[in-house]
A and B are shown apart, each in its own frame.
Chain A
Amino acid sequence: MKCRSCRQPAVIEVRRHNAGFCAGCFLRHCREQVARAIHDHAMVERGDRVLVPVSGGKDSLGLWDLLLDLGYEADGLYLGLGIGEYSDESRAFATGFAEGRGLSLRVLDLPAEHGFGIPDGAAAARRVPCSACGLSKRHLFNEAALEGGYDVVATGHNLDDEAAVLFGNVLHWSTEYLGRQLPVLPAARGFVRKVKPLIRLGEREMAAYCVLRGIDYIVEECPMAEGNRHLGYKAALDAIEERSPGSKASFYLGFLERASHRFVPDATVEQERLGPCISCGAPTTGEVCAFCRLVEKAHAAPAPRSEAVSVGRPRRRARGDA
């Protein structure tokens, strides 16, 4: 197979584009897709300070690399989730990337600063781990961005992630979520702007980008993901994609172009009911925000059995770099 641009031997085939790429042309393709997403959706302006939450995985580290390469001012944020070995390893990949390139990375740790990890917190709140994790990340990323004076938070959600979320939202006709499933959430009272510059790149492309750029990332899956609905949706979409390449892109990008605006009214009703959390001040529709409720439940729960030998629960510490 030959590169579609320069006819050199290809190293990767992207069936959605019906094309092979050599390493150089593929990297250029990735940069162009990110530049186009940023431009089409007015995600980031020159001079904006961008905060990139990095998990140590391919998407977030690849995104950080791409943004810097495109000339944006971007710092990293790593949040330790207290998921055993997985968290230790993923932190090593995030710090290794930052140190190797002399980049600024802030490291936060959920257990050290809030006294619980995702597995225990989720169990105490009777939530599935990814839901407790997602709400913690949304809260803490936003808080860190406000504290650090950043204009925008850029996350590594890729085309496959967004297509899978869309699939779930359509399957259940969650019109409010459909109205909020946008590549840019503008800044609002208490919220920093949030953008997803990787929406035009699939996860296979992101993995290939990292391999070709020599970015070391954690390949192992988070142990909490196993069996979650999101992975099931991805498998279903991949089975369709295998038979007709381009389906995922036309599903998600077509939604953005032709359907997403129809659901915006469903989401704005919710937005208008936002007020400050009485405990932390973050915007919420209730009295106490979802993160503060999670913290409260995690602290109220008896110590998990796995920690029965340790003395008491970790105490909450003041916020700051861990």
Chain B
Amino acid sequence: MKIRLRNPRREVEMAGPLRVHVLLDRLALNRESVLVIRQDTLVTGDVLLEDGDEVEVRPVISGGGA
């Protein structure tokens, strides 16, 4: 499956099936700091992603100090 990442924008391929929380562990991402979106809908950590899924991992942190 194709995984779209941001900051910087890039794409990685991963083999399914794969649980969302396993995907985040492999990418070394803190689950508090991202959302996972599959085909335009949000998915929770226990969801099984399949080959052929379009997945976006979107960071949620914004940095304005003021």
Contacts and interface: CB of A to CB of B under 8 A. Distances in A.
B41 interface: yes
A22 to B, nearest CB: 10
B42 A11 contact: yes
A220 B42 contact: no
B26 interface: no
A160 B30 CA distance: 15
A10 interface: yes
Interface residues of B, number: 24
A6 interface: no
A1 B62 contact: no
B55 to A, nearest CB: 14
Interface in B19-46: 30-35, 37, 41-46
A229 B65 contact: yes
Nearest to B42: A11
B30 A238 contact: yes
Interface in B36-66: 37, 41-46, 58-66
A303 interface: no
A239 B32 CA distance: 9
Contact of B6 (A20, A220, A230): A220
Interface string A54-73: 01011100000000000000
A228 interface: yes
Given A238-B30, A241-B32, A242-B32, A208 B63 contact: no
19 contacts: A11-B44, A23-B41, A131-B65, A161-B62, A204-B35, A204-B60, A207-B35, A208-B42, A211-B35, A211-B42, A211-B58, A221-B59, A221-B62, A221-B63, A225-B62, A225-B65, A234-B61, A238-B33, A241-B32
Given A221-B63, A225-B65, A238-B33, 5 more contacts: A13-B44, A204-B33, A219-B6, A221-B7, A238-B30
Interface of A: 1, 10-13, 15, 20, 23, 55, 57-59, 130-131, 133-135, 137-138, 160-161, 165, 203-204, 206-208, 211-212, 219-222, 225-226, 228-231, 234, 238-239, 241-242
The 5 A-B pairs at the shortest CB distance, nearest first, are namely A134-B66, A225-B63, A230-B65, A130-B65, A207-B60
